[in-house]
Structure 1
Amino acid sequence: MTASSKRAEYVAWASLILNVVFFAIALLVGRWSGFFVVSAVSWLILSSAIIWFVLVIQFHQRSLAEQEKLDMSQLAGAERDSTIFRAKGEHATLFAVAQRRLQVLEKWFIPVFAALTAVYQAGIGLYLLKGIPAFAGMTQGAGAEVETKQPLVCAICMTAIAFVSFLMSRYAIGMSASSSEPGWKPLRAGGSSLIGTAVVCFTLAVALAFVQFNVVFLINIIGYVIPVLLIVLGVETGLNVILDIYRPRIKGQYGRAAFDSRLLGIISEPGEILHTAAGAIDYQFGFKVSQTWFYKLLAKAIVPLILFACITLYLLSCIVVVAPNEESIIEHFGNPVNDAGKVRLVGPGLTFKYPWPIDIAYKYPTKKIRELYIGYVPKTDPKTGQVIRERELLWGKSHYEQEYNVLVASEQTTGEFGEGAVPVSLVKANVPVHYRIKDLYSFIYEHNKPKELLESICYRELAKFTASARIEVDDQAGIEHSLLGSGRAEAKRILTDRIQKAADAEHLGVEIVFLGLQGVHPPPEVAADYQKVVGAVQKKQALILGAHAERNKTLSSIAGSVSYANHLYDLAAEYQSAKGKVDAGKIRQLAVELDEAFAQAKGDIFATLRKSQSYAFEKATLAEAVGRRFSSQLNAYRAAKEIYKQQQRLMVLEDSMSNIRKYVVTADANDTQVFIVDVQEKLTPSLYELTGLEEHSKK
C-alpha cells in the first residue's frame, strides 16, 4: 500500500509542478503579448495548482500513515512476546500519530481549504469579470488599451499547455477510476481541474489562431467565459462545502472532496452520468436496467452519439435560411466582400456556406418598415412594451410622453414684438419617420450606429426647415414653407427629399417611405392664441381670394375670359404708347388689331358692340326712308300743288284732332243759319248715371 500511495503522491507532485510552470508561462506570455485572456487563463491554472497542492499534502500524509501502519504491523508480528507491544487497546493507538494526523487532515483541513478555494475562485472570477475591456483579446485591462502581438506564439503555448494537461488529466482520472486502489480516488479532483484547463487552453489556442486573420469575436467570448467559469466553480465548491456538513459519513467509504467539481466531472468522466441515471432507473423500475443489453450498448455508444450530434449541429451552421422579407450578408473570415470585390449578399431562400466561424451570416429584415420618433417620445404599454398610437391629434393637449419644441419663422415684424425681440415662434413638432433598408452593406458597415445617425439627420433637417418655415402663408408663393394648412403636403415632400438626400450623402443605405407632419401644432398653453392668429390669416386669405374671384368674374363677363381681357389690355396699352410716340404707321396697325380684337371679344364687349351696330343700322335705315319720302312728297307737290296742300292740311287736322268729337256743317256761304252747340254735353255717361240696368236684367 505504501508503494501505491507513493505513486499517487508522485503524480500529485508532477501535476503541481506542471501547473505552477503553466501558470508562470501563461502569466508571462499574457503580459508580454498584451492578450487579456491569456493572462486570465493563468489564474484558472493557478486554481488547479492549488487543488494539486492539497492533494500532494493529502497523499503524502496517507503515505506516512500507511508506512506507520506497516511498521506497526511488522513490529507486532516480529516481537509478539515484547511487553511494550502487548497493549492492543488505547495504548496501541498512542503510537498511530500519522494516522491521527490523516484523520484530522481529511476531517478539517480539506473542508476548510475547499472553502478557501471557493472564495479564491469566486473572487478572482469577479475581479476578472470587472476587468474585461471592450475587446477582451486586444487589451490588457479595463480602460487601458495595449497593443497585442504574436497571437500565433501564444496559440502554440496554449496548445502545449492543453496537450500536457490533457495527458496528465487522463492519467490521473484513470488512476482514480482503478477499482484495485480505492485510495487513488482523490486524484479525480485534480484530473477534473486539469481537463477543464485543457479544454479552455485548447479553445483559446483556436481563438488566437483566428486573431491572426483579424477575427476577434471568439477570443472576446472566451474573455467572458473564463471569469464566469471561475465564478461557477467557486459557487459549486461553496455549495459542496455546505452540503458536506449535513452529508452522513460512513466509516471506510470514500467521501468526495468539496473541490472535486461535479461540472468538470461531466467532461472528464461522462460515464458517471449514465451510472447515476442507471441507479435512478433501477430504483424506479425495481430491477437492474443497467444490466440490459440496450443500456450497455448505450453506455458504449454514448460518446460517439454525442460527438455525432455535436458534429451534426455544427454542420447545420453551413445552412442559411433567409426569410422572404430578409436579406443576409455572409462574412468569410470577417470579410463581407469576396475576391471579385462584390458583397456576399444573399436574398430570400436557402443558401449554403462554410461552417461557423469561417463564414458567419447576418440576417436583417430589409423589407420591414422601421419607425423613428422625431420630436417626441411615444407612450408605451407598461405590460407589452408596445407603442400606444394616438387616434386624434388636438392642439389643446399633449399626445406623447415627451414633446420637443422647434423654432418657426413668425409673420410679425420685429417692431411688433418690441426692440430686441426675434420674430420667431415655438411649435411642437411630432414627426414620425418610416424607413426601410435598401442597401444592407452600407447600413451595416458604413457606420457604427446607422439608426442613431439617421435620427440625427432627421432632427437636423427638421430644425433647418422649420427655422425658415411659417405656421401659415399668405399666398401660393410661400406654400413650400408652410407647416399647417394646404402647404403641409408640399412641406412634407420637401422635408422628405432633404432627409433622403442627406441620408444618401452619408451612404446610410436607407429609403424614407413616409414622413408625417400631422403632429405639428402649437404648445397647448398658447393653442387658443394660435387659433386666433390662424383664423385672422385665413380670413385675410378668404378676402384676397374673394377679390380675385370678383376680378375674374368681372373680366370674364366683359371679355369672355380673363386671358382675353388681359390681351385687350395689352393691345390698348401698346396703342396708347404708340400715340405717345406719334408713330402713325404703328398707330394704324394697332388700331386695326384693336378693332379686330374687340370684334372677336365675347361677353359685355360683344353685347355692346352688337347693340351699337344695330342702333347704327336702324338710324341709317330711317334716314334713308325719310329721304325717299321727302322725294316722293316733292314730286306729288309739283304734280298738284293745291291737292297736295289740302291733303297735308287734312292730315294735320286728323292727327291733331284724333280724340275730339267733330261736327261737319255743310251750308252755302250766303246762308245765315245759326247753329247753337252745347259744349257742356257729356259725351260719356258716368257710372252713377247708369240706371235701369237692374230692371233690364230682371226682364
Structure 2
Amino acid sequence: MLVEDKRKLKQGFQISIGVLVFQIFLSSIFYIMYTKTKSPLLLSETFHIGIGIPISGILFLLYHQRYRERLEIEELEELKKREGKIFKEEESLILVSRVRLRQIEKWFIPAITFIITFFLIYTPLKLIAYFRGKKIPYHPSSVIPLLLIGLTFPIFILSRYILGMSKDKRWKDLQSLGSFLGVNAIFSFLTAISLTFKNLNLPKVEWFIFYFLNFFLILIGIEYFLNIIASFYISGKEKRYPFDSKILYLLALPEEVIPSFSEIIEYQFGFRITQTWFYQFIKKRIIPLLLLQITLLYLLSCIVIVRPYERCFIEFLGKPIGNGKIFGPGLHLKFPWPI
C-alpha cells in the first residue's frame, strides 16, 4: 500500500509540474497573440490562463511533500525494525515533511489563495476600466482563431485526463487543476469564435465575451474568498482547499451538475432523489436538453418585434441591404444574432 501511495503521489507532483510548464507556455503564446492583435479578450484570457500557474505550483508542493512524507515513514519503519523502539523526539526529527505539510496546509495555502483571490477580483476590474469606451486598433488575423482552436483541444484533453485522475482519492486535489483547465478550454474556444466574428467586422461578440469572462473571474475570486473563510471552520475528511472551485468543476464537467444538485437535496431534506425515475431520466439526457434549450434561445434571436411607433430596415453583417426598404410594425424574421 505504501509503495502504491508513493507511486501515485509521485505521479501527482509530476502532473502538477508538467501542467505548470504547460500553463507558462500557454500564457506566453496567448500574450504574443495579444501583442499581434491588441484584442482585449486575448489579454483577459492570457490572465485567465496565467492565474492558474500558482495553483499548479501549490499542488506540486503538496504532492512533493506528501511523497517525501511517505519516504520518511518508510525510513522510520526500517529504523523501528532495526532498533525495536523509537522515541517520540526521534520520530518527529525523522518526519520533517509531515510537519512541513501541516504548516503548508494551515498557512501557506490560504495565504497564496488569498493573493490569487485579490488578483482575480482586482485585475478584471482594471481591465474593464482600461478598455471600456476605448477604441482599440485591431489587427485582423485569420491564423490566430485557428491557432486558438488548435490550442483548445490539448487543453480540453489534459483537463479531462486530470479530472479522470482525480476520481482516485490520492489524486483528489488535482480536481481543482482539471477544472481550471476545462474552463480555460471553454474560454479559449469562445475567444477563437469572437475573433472570427471580429474579422467579419462584428466586434460586439468579442466585447460581450470580454465582459462575461472578466465578471466570471470576479465571481471565482469571490468563491475563493468564501472558501478561505470556510476553510477555517471545516475540518476532517470534508475539507477542501480554498482554490478548489465548485463553479469551475461544474462548468468543466457539466454532467456532474445533476449529481451535485441531488447531493444538496439529500443533505438538506434527507430525500433520496437519486432513486427516482425522474432523476435517472434527467441524468442521462441533461446534455442534449441543455443543448436544445440553448439552440432554441439562440433561434429566438431570429424574431424581431417592431412596435407600433417604430420602423426598421435590414442589415447584413452591419451593412444595410434591400435598397433600404423600411419595415413597419409587426413580427418579422431575420438571420440569427449577430448577423
State the one-letter code of the partner of 1:56.
Answer: F
Counterpart of 1:206? 193
Counterpart of 2:9? 5
Match of 1:246 among 227, 233, 242: 233
State the one-letter code of the partner of 1:109.
Answer: F
- Contact conserved, 1:132 with 1:223, CA < 8 A, in 2? no
* Offset at residue 50 of structure 1 (A): 1.9
User: TM-score, normalized by length of structure 2?
Assistant: 0.90
- Contact conserved, 2:162 with 2:175, CA < 8 A, in 1? yes
CA 283–16 in structure 1, closer or farther in 2 if over 3 Å, else same: closer
Match of 1:161 among 146, 151, 168: 151
- Contact conserved, 1:328 with 1:347, CA < 8 A, in 2? yes
Instruction: Trace 1:195-594 onto structure 2 (pairs within 5 A).
Output: 195-247=182-234, 249-250=235-236, 253-283=237-267, 286-338=270-322, 342-343=323-324, 345-358=326-339
Superposition RMSD on alpha carbons, in Å? 2.3
- Contact conserved, 1:240 with 1:258, CA < 8 A, in 2? yes
SS at match of 2:285: helix
- Contact conserved, 1:331 with 1:344, CA < 8 A, in 2? no
Structure 1: distance between partners of 2:315 and 2:14: 50
SS at match of 2:336: coil
SS at match of 1:131: helix
Match of 2:163 among 173, 187, 200: 173
Aligned residue pairs, count:
335
Structure 2: distance between partners of 1:270 and 1:155: 25
State the one-letter code of the partner of 1:172.
Answer: I
Counterpart of 1:36? 40
Structure 2: distance between partners of 1:353 and 1:49: 45
Structure 1: distance between partners of 2:274 and 2:71: 40
CA 89–344 in structure 1, closer or farther in 2 if over 3 Å, else same: farther
CA 5–345 in structure 1, closer or farther in 2 if over 3 Å, else same: farther
Counterpart of 2:124? 125
Higher helix share: 2
Counterpart of 1:463? none
Larger Rg: 1
Q: Which moved more, 1:38-47 or 1:222-231?
A: 222-231
Counterpart of 1:152? 142
Match of 1:25 among 14, 25, 29: 29
Structure 2: distance between partners of 1:330 and 1:273: 41
1:59-108 CA distance string (max 9 Å, x none): 222222223334444x26xx73x32x512755434311122222221222
1:627-675 CA distance string (max 9 Å, x none): xxxxxxxxxxxxxxxxxxxxxxxxxxxxxxxxxxxxxxxxxxxxxxxxx
Unaligned runs of 5+ in 1: 140-146, 359-699
Q: Does residue 189 of the first structure (1) align with residue 176 of the second (2)? A: yes
Structure 1: distance between partners of 2:120 and 2:273: 39
Counterpart of 1:101? 100
State the one-letter code of the partner of 2:144.
Answer: C
State the one-letter code of the partner of 2:295.
Answer: I
- Contact conserved, 2:258 with 2:283, CA < 8 A, in 1? yes
Structure 2: distance between partners of 1:270 and 1:201: 17
- Contact conserved, 1:162 with 1:202, CA < 8 A, in 2? yes
1:427-450 CA distance string (max 9 Å, x none): xxxxxxxxxxxxxxxxxxxxxxxx
Unaligned runs of 5+ in 2: none
- Contact conserved, 1:151 with 1:211, CA < 8 A, in 2? no
State the one-letter code of the partner of 2:110.
Answer: P
Structure 2: distance between partners of 1:9 and 1:69: 18
* Offset at residue 344 of structure 1 (A): 5.6
State the one-letter code of the partner of 1:260.
Answer: D
SS at match of 1:151: coil
* Offset at residue 241 of structure 1 (A): 1.0
SS at match of 1:346: coil
CA 279–41 in structure 1, closer or farther in 2 if over 3 Å, else same: closer
Structure 2: distance between partners of 1:189 and 1:46: 15
Structure 2: distance between partners of 1:66 and 1:319: 64
- Contact conserved, 2:44 with 2:124, CA < 8 A, in 1? no
State the one-letter code of the partner of 1:134.
Answer: G
State the one-letter code of the partner of 1:65.
Answer: E
Structure 1: distance between partners of 2:239 and 2:188: 30
Structure 2: distance between partners of 1:325 and 1:20: 56
* Offset at residue 206 of structure 1 (A): 0.7
CA 347–230 in structure 1, closer or farther in 2 if over 3 Å, else same: same
User: TM-score, normalized by length of structure 1?
Assistant: 0.45
Counterpart of 2:68? 64
Higher strand share: 1
* Offset at residue 118 of structure 1 (A): 0.7
Q: Which moved more, 1:228-237 or 1:343-352?
A: 343-352
- Contact conserved, 2:10 with 2:64, CA < 8 A, in 1? yes
SS at match of 2:313: strand
Structure 1: distance between partners of 2:11 and 2:149: 28
CA 11–346 in structure 1, closer or farther in 2 if over 3 Å, else same: farther
1:305-341 CA distance string (max 9 Å, x none): 1111111111222222333443333332222224xxx
State the one-letter code of the partner of 1:69.
Answer: I
Q: Which has the higher contact order (CA 8 A, sep 6+)?
A: 2
SS at match of 1:329: coil
State the one-letter code of the partner of 1:239.
Answer: L
CA 185–346 in structure 1, closer or farther in 2 if over 3 Å, else same: farther
CA 315–302 in structure 1, closer or farther in 2 if over 3 Å, else same: same
Structure 2: distance between partners of 1:2 and 1:346: 72
Structure 2: distance between partners of 1:71 and 1:305: 55
CA 345–257 in structure 1, closer or farther in 2 if over 3 Å, else same: farther
* Offset at residue 208 of structure 1 (A): 0.7
Structure 1: distance between partners of 2:311 and 2:146: 39
Structure 1: distance between partners of 2:203 and 2:271: 53
- Contact conserved, 1:125 with 1:229, CA < 8 A, in 2? no
